[in-house]
Structure 1
Amino acid sequence: MSETRTSGAARAEGARMIALVGPFQSGKTSLFECLLARCGAVQRQGFVRDGATVGDASPEARAHAMSVECNIGRADYLGDRYTFVDCPGSVEFADEQRRALAVADAAIVVAESDPRKLPALQLVLRAVEEARVPHFLFLNKIDAAAGNLRESLALLQTASRTPLLLRQIPLWNNGIAVGFIDLALERAYVYREHAPSQVVAMPDGETVLEKEARYSMLERLADYDDALMEELLSDIEPPRDQIFDDLAKELRFGHVAPVFIGAAERGAGVTRLLKALRHEAPGVAATRARLGIADAGPALAHVFRSIHTPHGGKLSLARVLRGAFSDGQQVIGSSGAEEKISGVSSLLGAMTMRQPKAEAGETVAFGRLDGIAAGEAVQDARAGAPQAPAPLAPPRPVYGLALSVGDRKDEMRLAAALAKLIDEDPSLVFVQDQALGEMKLLGQGEMHIRVALERLATRYGVTVATHAPAVGYKETIRHAVSVRGRHKKQSGGHGQFGDVVLEVSPRRRGEGFAFAERVHGGTVPKQYFSSVEAGCQDALARGPLGFPVVDVEAVLVDGSYHSVDSSDMAFRTAARIGMIEALGRAEPVLLEPMLAVAIFAPSEAVSRATGIVSARRGQILGFGPRPEWDGWDALDALIPEAEIGDLIVELRSATSGAGFFEARFDHLTEMVGRQAHEVVAARSAASH
């Protein structure tokens, strides 16, 4: 349904927060650096290839030549204040992107005309659309592009559910983009190296193409503006102000995603992008409306990230959504924790700049809010705890390593350091697996865990050894047996005597352990039944193959006792002895855990995904189109837990970095043959 045009749209007031998102190596950090330089926030643009950027200043980012956390930079342009947030492009660090998008006014999606990166672009665009953030698309590396821009736009449109609105067309010279025509302004520009583009006369031969592209842009806008539609049907040229009002409105409502072109590393096309942000990007008032926050009320901010600094303590990166916050102000988080702000700072990469207060729209770092976690809202403590924002559930882990330290004393240091890392990055999960006797760090991929371990070492001086997590093998029995368990000991004074006869049999898979008694004639007094059951369970902790025993039943059918020497402990010991013997005689068999795995991959990569499953002893249950994801399929399979460890690494390699999976325990299944023998042998060797 179209909307009646409302004239007089005003520029947004207050500081704005703009998220830069896009696939890995699309050029986000280059655009971030160029924006800061063009705004005068830095003297010159830094380059990723030189390792001289304002962003990506951490040792881990420098070492791996990639963004591993959000980079934040404040800048002023023509009297307007912005905070640009350069989000990591790797899917392994996508949780950083989600948390920044939650409070951003708008996003710039940096993309390339590269079919190989379309699945990754689709993941980024889906995150932006689900967060309902108005967004521009910056088609980067136009200087290296080949082919027709309309073909590129059609290709990119397959990744976007929001209609893409072409705002510029390139000027070509011998197959190289040397400038562009702005369709809203109807002006031609030529690029200048690391400087604003220069207005030039419309080149001969471009007028027809420009008119055609401009009319297509206006037609799209007219889908949402009845007055503009009437003007187009009547061949009336709409006023320029009306066009810009419509561009701002349709961007804000998410009806379109305007497309700009340029080359961030050369600084080409960036000034026009900045001017579009200035005149069209919504501000904090629109973000409040999107989040369902009233305009009136006590000062309110949303903490979207935590940083633990070596000397300055914890910094809470927050977007001020309403009112103002001052240094020294007492605030309360949505969890009820009260803290005092110890410093208000704006950020430029790794640098912090103190300021007395932060007003609505600003993105700042609050110091020493130790009890307030990322994802919480904060407001003046006198107003009471604010309503908790809609939670952003962290993604499920898909990769993990078991950790060990050389000295048990270091376990406390490890736990404390990991708590800080997880406070910074909630997509990390630390598990102390009591059943397997392991500490495990889980996350979103091999690089994600590697970076966390590097931070452990460099920031906190905690070095750990790592290995693949243990598999939760179990064992059971195949046959029923009857055994006698007898414990008799005389050591002066009262002795120990317990005697039981047990019938031990297998149960159906998943039924667990059961105990019963069918004792006649009081051969075993009732008071010892619970001790016999406990003794049977003691024996299940480690069966004859070396693993916990499941799905068995033990029935006490007979026994004997001594009026003086019998005791709970004696009967518990007798039952454990009998149960151990029974398990060894009842043909023990190894059980391995099977996981139900849902794999999501671009349709063209599904055949590769099925090959990966088959190579990992997996059983494919079925596949089909992934609901509401054009060009993607979902593959359901059963895969042994032992084969799941580096599945995500191989899957992403086969899907241009975009594939992922979800897994849950499904059942235990018998494991026989050479593989079972190897598992049992390895367990036996580890026990000696």
Structure 2
Amino acid sequence: MGDDGGRGRGPRTGARTIALVGPFSSGKTTLLEAILARTGAVQRQGSTTAGTTVGDAGPEARAHAMSVELNVATTSFMGDDYTFLDCPGSTEFLGETLSVLPVVDCAVVVCEADPKKIAALQLILKRLDDAGVPHMLFLNKIDKADARVRETLAMLQPASKTPLVLRQIPIWTDGKVTGFIDLALERAFVYRDHAPSETIDIPDEEMAREVEARFTMLERLADHDDALMEELLSDVAPPRDQVFGDLVAELRNGLICPVFFGSAEDGHGIGRLLKALRHEAPGLEDLDARLGFAPGTDAVVRVVKTLHTAHGGKLSIGRVLAGEIRDGSALAGPSGADRVSGLYRLVGARTEKRDVARAGDLVALGKLEHARTGDTLGGGRAAPEPVAPVELPRPVMALSIRANERKDEAKLSAALARIVEEDPSLTVTVSAETGETLLGGQGEMHLRVATERLAGRWGLQLRTTRPEVAYRETIRGRAAQHGRHKKQSGGHGQFGDVHLEIAPLARGEGIRFTEKITGGVVPRQYIPGVETGVRDALRRGPLGFEVVDVEVTLTDGSYHAVDSSDQAFQAAARIAMREGLPACNPVLLEPIERVTVSCPSEATARVNAIVSARRGQLLGFDARPGWDGWDVVEALMPASEIGDLIVELRSATQGVAHFERRFDHLQELTGRLAEEIVARHAEAAAAA
């Protein structure tokens, strides 16, 4: 008998979809490759180092030696179909994981015995718990472990609210793990590289360890099974079927997280993991219950990923939750209806055409132009109720982006729309304050990969810079100013004459224009023109920025019966404002934002120091609700200091910190820093 024996299993409906999740560089893509090799989907296991894996086949993933998008591969094991979704481990690509978690049957959390990755592991486990996704843990790189598995488990347990239940214990030979004992099957196995393990008798010297470890596992299962608890108290050995029944029920109900181990690189422990998924992982019926989904007669598919391929056009990758879909099937979604043009099974970048997809299958659907990631599509006339909508994280970093060549601007606009469709955790906005096109994302690498795709796929030469800060200016003093516009050039001339009083307002009051004209010295029809000229002049003040919180009063003026016009009074008002504002003691205003940083408690002191060093005003910190061992730090920070804040925060927190921001107020800025900002702005304006 191979890797770990076999046992009967009950009926199930539909293929299973399994997410592979875990901290960055824990070996998820290598595990996917090992699974594909063991199940015969590929002839030989590839290597991430050599760039020969099915996953991470894109140029950006290869260049950075990391997963930067979802890898999808469908394979078969012992007659059953499985689709594995290899999710990026970096926090910056979390959106890829959040999009798929609601519709997977189970997740395999891939991790290693590295205390530096505990915070990242906790982040992933919390997401799984919040989404109600049953999960098991695969402790990878066991061949490199120098700590005992139970010690490692004790180190990892604080990251998980769900109890971690050891399903195997290692067999050590000369300080290396050479096999394992399965505590449920009570059998021992010796690893064979890239091949099924060999069954052996449990070594005599391991019997005591096996009995102790098995009893510990059963004790944990008995927490939710009174009959099993009675048997343990009575020293009665429970039947194996009862043990497996508890393992299945408690995994599916999210009461335990079974722990397996192995080495994906060497193909160790793969068969046992696959057997566990086959016998114990939940199926489509459990997913229906988790989602509160009642399947009807119509087809229903939930889109988890969108791709734009070079030759096949748009592909919508989706999980079929009900009914069946064929080439040519009509599907309606929230943005419109389309007919499927091509139905495919995916193995990495390779597509295999298929005739039909049934409930449980995860497939690629061709040319659904209206479909978007996260949409629920249905075979009826109207779009079905959305299934498991996902809220993606808001951007924490942005780039100002434009094409080097003006002729490429339309091409850039279309390309940006495509990459945002593929990755909805990217955003494209146009700043109302500066007019810049801003590409927002989850961090430095996230944005780098996006710009590399724009350059590589569309051949665009781009210019990216840090976004401009929307500085403002205001005045501290008052002034009375006369402005006259007089021009004679044959025929009707131009004449406008105004007297304005300029005064400061309290912060946040905006612009106020009033008039105190008596005797018709400025005719009523020209007063709106004066206000237009005033507001036009306030768009750029003496320091070079938009002026706010100012009151301007029209007190006097004169006009010419023939030469006066609305345009002339606009010009006169602009002259008065341009000459009067410098006398009002102008001052620079910088935007201040309220920032909320979420971080592990052990890093709170470092986060506070980072905020303070960036001219932030700490408002305090508290425990993060629902997150054991995490804090929330509140601060007010200048917008100019937030541009690359996430880079430093992630560096100080093993890559897991996150923050949210919102505008709070404008604050005066004086001294050398203000002078430097004004000088840089003037220099940039002159060069434009």
**Residues 177 and 676 of structure 1: is their aligned pair in 2 closer, same or farther, counting only changes over 3 Å?**
same
- Which has the higher mean CA deviation after the structures are superposed, 24-33 or 232-241? 232-241
In 2, are the aligned partners of 1:9 and 1:245 still within 8 Å (CA)?
no
The superposition leaves residues 612-635 of structure 1 with CA deviations (integer Å, 9 ceiling, x where unpaired) of 112212221111222221111211
Matched with 2:373 is 374
> Separation in 2 of the partners of 1:86 and 1:619?
41
Q: Percent identity?
A: 58
Matched with 1:653 is 651
Matched with 2:337 is 338
- Deviation at residue 37 of structure 1 after TM alignment: 0.7
| Secondary structure of residue in 1 paired with 2:491 | coil
- Deviation at residue 463 of structure 1 after TM alignment: 1.8
| Secondary structure of residue in 2 paired with 1:265 | coil
The superposition leaves residues 24-46 of structure 1 with CA deviations (integer Å, 9 ceiling, x where unpaired) of 00010111001111111111111
| Secondary structure of residue in 1 paired with 2:249 | helix
| Secondary structure of residue in 2 paired with 1:484 | strand
> Separation in 1 of the partners of 2:323 and 2:288?
12
> Separation in 1 of the partners of 2:152 and 2:218?
20
- Which has the higher mean CA deviation after the structures are superposed, 116-125 or 164-173? 164-173
- Deviation at residue 426 of structure 1 after TM alignment: 0.3
In 2, are the aligned partners of 1:168 and 1:259 still within 8 Å (CA)?
yes
The superposition leaves residues 230-284 of structure 1 with CA deviations (integer Å, 9 ceiling, x where unpaired) of 2222222211111111111111111111111111111111111100000011112
Matched with 2:609 is 611
> Separation in 1 of the partners of 2:295 and 2:259?
31
In 2, are the aligned partners of 1:12 and 1:281 still within 8 Å (CA)?
no
Matched with 1:644 is 642
- Which has the higher mean CA deviation after the structures are superposed, 308-317 or 371-380? 371-380
Structure 2 residue identity aligned to 1:449: L
In 2, are the aligned partners of 1:14 and 1:284 still within 8 Å (CA)?
yes
Matched with 2:313 is 313
Matched with 1:124 is 124
The superposition leaves residues 168-224 of structure 1 with CA deviations (integer Å, 9 ceiling, x where unpaired) of 111122322111111111111121111122221112232222222212211221222
**Residues 193 and 402 of structure 1: is their aligned pair in 2 closer, same or farther, counting only changes over 3 Å?**
same
Q: How does 1:69-468 map to 2 (within 5 A)?
A: 69-333=69-333, 335-382=334-381, 384-468=382-466
| Secondary structure of residue in 1 paired with 2:365 | strand
In 2, are the aligned partners of 1:652 and 1:658 still within 8 Å (CA)?
yes
The superposition leaves residues 588-643 of structure 1 with CA deviations (integer Å, 9 ceiling, x where unpaired) of 11111111111111122222212211221222111122222111121111221111
Q: Does 1:62 align with 2:62?
A: yes
Q: Which TM-score applies when normalising by structure 2? A: 0.97
The superposition leaves residues 46-69 of structure 1 with CA deviations (integer Å, 9 ceiling, x where unpaired) of 111111101111111111111111
| Secondary structure of residue in 1 paired with 2:204 | coil
Matched with 1:3 is none
> Separation in 2 of the partners of 1:290 and 1:449?
34
Matched with 2:509 is 511
Matched with 2:582 is 584
Structure 1 residue identity aligned to 2:160: S
> Separation in 1 of the partners of 2:104 and 2:146?
33
> Separation in 1 of the partners of 2:335 and 2:425?
23
In 2, are the aligned partners of 1:47 and 1:53 still within 8 Å (CA)?
yes
**Residues 390 and 514 of structure 1: is their aligned pair in 2 closer, same or farther, counting only changes over 3 Å?**
farther
> Separation in 2 of the partners of 1:583 and 1:12?
77
- Deviation at residue 161 of structure 1 after TM alignment: 1.3
Matched with 1:480 is 478
Q: Which TM-score applies when normalising by structure 1? A: 0.97
In 1, are the aligned partners of 2:98 and 2:392 still within 8 Å (CA)?
no
In 2, are the aligned partners of 1:165 and 1:220 still within 8 Å (CA)?
yes
In 2, are the aligned partners of 1:479 and 1:586 still within 8 Å (CA)?
yes
Structure 1 residue identity aligned to 2:680: A
Structure 2 residue identity aligned to 1:348: V
> Separation in 2 of the partners of 1:681 and 1:377?
52
The superposition leaves residues 459-481 of structure 1 with CA deviations (integer Å, 9 ceiling, x where unpaired) of 11112011111111111111011
> Separation in 1 of the partners of 2:40 and 2:170?
27
Please provide the CA RMSD for this pair: 1.4
Structure 2 residue identity aligned to 1:562: H
| Secondary structure of residue in 1 paired with 2:546 | coil
- Deviation at residue 339 of structure 1 after TM alignment: 0.4
> Separation in 2 of the partners of 1:681 and 1:330?
60
- Deviation at residue 301 of structure 1 after TM alignment: 0.8
In 2, are the aligned partners of 1:34 and 1:264 still within 8 Å (CA)?
yes
Matched with 1:521 is 519
